[in-house]
């Protein structure tokens, strides 16, 4: 038996199905929101927010939260790798780029 999975993209505002739906994020009062919109609906959202955006202050970008169940892409800092290398009798400089072979050895040891 063969299964076929079909993903249907739907504009959250209009309910219209379209392959051009994109996910947009915004934040208000510390709450982050996500909405799936086609370009026409996004234009409506942007026009509605435009006066507030133009008069507001930018405070920087927020980090996207990791999705549950997905592995973290945490890379160890150079100092973490250097400390591991010293503890495991590798010769390593205190500054500069960590050599690839040492970083690979660190990854294998984890």
Give the model's pLDDT for residue 96.
82
The arithmetic mean of pLDDT across residues 88-109, rounded, is: 88
Which of helix, strand or coil describes residue 34?
A: strand
* Chain segment 1-44, per-residue pLDDT in tens: 889 988 889 999 999 999 899 999 988 888 999 999 999 999 99
Q: What is the per-residue pLDDT for 70?
A: 47
Question: How much is the pLDDT for 97?
Answer: 83
Q: What digits encode the pLDDT tens for the residues 44-98? A: 999 999 999 899 988 877 666 555 554 555 678 888 899 999 999 999 888 888 8
Q: Cα(first)–Cα(last) distance of the chain, in Å?
A: 41
User: Cβ-count burial of 87 within 10 angstroms (0-12 exposed, 13-18 middle, 19+ buried)?
Assistant: exposed
Residue 6: exposure state from Cβ atoms within 10 A (0-12, 13-18, ≥19): exposed
Strands 31-37 and 22-28: antiparallel
């Amino acid at each position: 038996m063969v299964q076929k999975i079909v993903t249907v993209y739907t504009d959250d505002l209009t309910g219209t199905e379209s392959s051009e739906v994109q996910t947009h994020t915004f934040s208000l009062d510390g709450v982050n929101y996500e909405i799936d919109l086609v370009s026409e609906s996004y234009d409506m959202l942007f026009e509605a927010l435009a006066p507030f955006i133009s008069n507001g202050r930018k405070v920087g970008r927020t980090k996207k939260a990791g999705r549950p169940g997905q592995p973290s892409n945490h890379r160890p800092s150079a100092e973490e790798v250097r400390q591991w290398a010293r503890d495991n009798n590798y010769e390593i400089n205190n500054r500069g780029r960590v050599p690839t072979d040492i970083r690979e050895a660190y990854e294998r040891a984890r």
